[in-house]
Copies of this chain bind each other. A is one copy, B any other.
């Protein structure tokens, strides 16, 4: 799917129905469970005897993304991925999404196409169907609301509330990268604002920029765990930062935690860039958010199965509720874990 972006077509030329019809022509159906996609009052899905898993996320311009440095195609891709990540975090398989977008007249048809192209690219990559949505206008920025549906056998589902004393705390991939990518983009935006003639200096930052602009959901981790026959006792995806998600797991499972700072996986580029910004790399991993890695707990008996998985780190263990939520620092001192998460509402 390639769009011609050399022209600008006003959305008002098409109208709401015209826009929906235009964008719908690019939508393909991949899932057998999709009985009816776009085009009626509702989509119709057939999950047979499986359980339905459903999650929704809203992304608001100026709050969750900045179009100064976020290409629309990447934004579309990311907005789908963050929803799928929630479905994987239930140990379920995503099947369909619904997409609602509010656009102001600032956006052209070509811009809407770019956004949609990114969404459809994610649908293709993760083999899911776009089955409906709503397209409307807004007076100011762009708002994207996506609902993702998935399926699972009831016995496969993993909730946030199943962590037990003695369980190992594990995390996929590495943390803090998306946040440091954002810091680099914000810095270059500030430089550009001061002097529009200066080219942004993003050299060597590819990995963390990709973490921020084009994250992936960890379908591979869900597949891996299935292959090595490990069912986590609890699981959550990391959207708001490690400490915030750990607290969610502990609260819902009614347990305590001991987290080891030295075990938190941080990519060298994330580490070096944090230092460059005079930031504590651990704090970036704990509070940065948007990594979309999976945080989960497993029974001790699964240690041997999991210890050699290169992309999974064991970062702590579950304790009794009365022990509290603690992090053992590299120097051996013990801190209580606190978190605001990525508190969008505190921003102006």
Chain A residues engaging chain B, CB cutoff 8 angstroms: 11-12, 14-17, 19, 35-36, 39-49, 51-58, 60-64, 85-87, 89-90, 92, 96, 98, 100-103, 105, 131-134, 136-141, 143, 145, 147-150, 152, 154, 157, 159-161, 235-237, 244, 252, 340-341, 343-348
User: What residue in chain B is nearest A98 (Cβ atoms)?
Assistant: B56
Given A137-B63, A137-B347, A348-B105, check contact A43 B55 (CB 8 Å).
yes
Bound Cα distance A313, B105 (Å): 40
User: What residue in chain B is nearest A134 (Cβ atoms)?
Assistant: B58
Bound Cα distance A342, B40 (Å): 17
Q: Which residues of B contact A46 (CB under 8 A)?
A: 51-52, 154
Sampled A-B contacts (29; CB under 8 Å): A14-B345, A15-B340, A15-B343, A17-B244, A17-B341, A39-B160, A40-B90, A41-B86, A41-B235, A42-B86, A42-B89, A42-B148, A44-B51, A44-B52, A45-B51, A45-B52, A45-B53, A47-B52, A49-B49, A54-B98, A56-B145, A57-B100, A57-B134, A60-B136, A61-B139, A63-B139, A105-B348, A136-B345, A145-B145
Bound Cα distance A155, B169 (Å): 47
Bound Cα distance A344, B39 (Å): 19
Partner of A100, one of B43, B44, B56: B56
- In the complex, are the beta carbons of B345 and A15 less than 8 A apart? yes
Distance from A119 Cβ to chain B, minimum over Cβ atoms (Å): 14
Q: Which residues of B contact A54 (CB under 8 A)?
A: 42-43, 45, 96, 98, 131-132, 147, 149
Q: Which residues of B contact A343 (CB under 8 A)?
A: 15-17
- In the complex, are the beta carbons of A98 and B147 less than 8 A apart? yes
- In the complex, are the beta carbons of A139 and B86 less than 8 A apart? no
Bound Cα distance A61, B53 (Å): 30
- Tell me which of A40, A42, A92, A344 has the highest count of chain B C-beta atoms within 10 A of its own C-beta: A42
Partner of A47, one of B12, B47, B55, B136: B47
- In the complex, are the beta carbons of A41 and B139 less than 8 A apart? no
Partner of A136, one of B16, B63, B102, B139: B63
